[in-house]
């Protein structure tokens, strides 16, 4: 009976548009290089970091989810009830590299208290130049959200399988592939990411309408996001949660030049 009741809640109470412009913090192009540096292109001419051509020179990119800290889980501590929350963590990454276009992941965490770190420090996106994979991404977009569940957590693997079998998701994925391959404006990609996130949200069951935090962050070569070598951390905060990302860019040739 409890299982039946959960699915009734799933179909009738799950919000249809959990992620909107009002509750998703859109950080498109906010990742700025710390300062301009000098480098040397293949031909030997000096260039300023920020030139679009340098993005083709990078030899590796890694985007990591480095921190998820719950400040306030919005669950009161009353009497014998400790005030723990059941949390879903939803990640989606979109890039313009073939075979790495869309990545979706869902994880569940039970019994999360206020002022508690989720045990997460993992790679969301990884690209390394090889003999058969020489073209670096010109754009990478990441959507991350921490969502409180009102019912028992569902198995993440089952959720992902149901998502992949959903016709709405398949259609949205096809649209995303077309948008990315046609070099559409970043705004169109951001809108479609939000659309896919709402489709995924329906499979989480009965969850709160407003996530504890949702962030949409874009990195592009035109904005110079791949020009600064090394690791650049970034944190986003609401009154309920802190979410941390880090972008690491490696370039064998520029690193050689810098070490001379």
pLDDT of residue 38: 44
pLDDT of residue 186: 77
pLDDT of residue 85: 95
- Range of 52-56, 182-186, 221-225, 250-254 with top mean pLDDT: 221-225
Dihedral sign from CA coordinates of 200, 205, 210, 215: negative
pLDDT in tens, 246-260: 999 988 666 655 665
d(CA 65, CA 42): 33
Nearest one of 116, 68, 97, 14 to 215, comparing CA atoms: 68
Out of 76-80, 88-92, 253-257, least confident range? 253-257
Domain boundaries defined on the chain: 2-258
Q: 229 with 254: CB under 8 angstroms?
A: yes
**Residue 10 in this model has a pLDDT that exceeds 50:** no
**Residue 218 in this model has a pLDDT that exceeds 80:** yes
Output DSSP code: residue 151.
S
d(CA 209, CA 105): 20
pLDDT in tens, 34-58: 444 444 344 444 334 444 444 557 8
d(CA 197, CA 67): 20
Would you call 40 exposed, middle or buried from its count of C-beta atoms within 10 A (0-12, 13-18, 19+)? middle
pLDDT in tens, 138-152: 899 999 999 999 999
Q: Retrieve residue 202's tokens.
A: 């329906």
- Alpha helix ranges (H) inside the chain: 2-13, 156-165, 167-181, 186-201, 252-258
Tell me the average pLDDT across 176-195: 84
**Residue 231 in this model has a pLDDT that exceeds 60:** yes
- Range of 24-28, 34-38, 39-43, 191-195 with top mean pLDDT: 191-195
């Amino acid at each position: 009976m409890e299982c039946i009741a959960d699915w009734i809640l799933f179909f009738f109470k799950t919000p249809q548009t959990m992620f909107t412009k009002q509750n998703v913090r859109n950080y498109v192009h906010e990742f700025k290089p710390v300062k301009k540096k000098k480098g040397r292109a293949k031909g030997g001419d000096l260039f300023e970091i920020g030139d679009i051509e340098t993005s083709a020179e990078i030899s590796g990119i890694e985007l990591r989810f480095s921190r998820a800290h719950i400040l306030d889980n919005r669950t009161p501590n009353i009497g014998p009830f400790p005030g723990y929350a059941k949390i879903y963590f939803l990640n989606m990454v979109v890039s313009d590299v073939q075979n790495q276009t869309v990545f979706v992941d869902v994880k569940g965490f039970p019994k999360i208290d206020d002022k508690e770190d989720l045990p997460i420090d993992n790679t969301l996106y990884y690209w390394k130049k090889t003999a058969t994979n020489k073209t670096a991404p010109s754009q990478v977009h990441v959507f991350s959200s921490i969502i409180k569940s009102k019912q028992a957590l569902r198995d993440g693997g089952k959720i992902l399988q149901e998502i992949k079998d959903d016709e709405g998701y398949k259609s949205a994925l096809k649209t995303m592939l077309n948008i990315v391959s046609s070099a559409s404006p970043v705004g169109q990609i951001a809108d479609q990411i939000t659309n896919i996130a709402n489709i995924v949200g329906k499979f989480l069951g009965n969850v709160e309408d407003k996530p504890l935090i949702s962030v949409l962050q874009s990195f592009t070569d035109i904005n110079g996001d791949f020009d600064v070598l090394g690791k650049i951390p970034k944190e986003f905060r609401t009154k309920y949660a802190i979410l941390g990302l880090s972008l690491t860019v490696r370039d064998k040739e520029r690193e050689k030049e810098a070490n001379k």
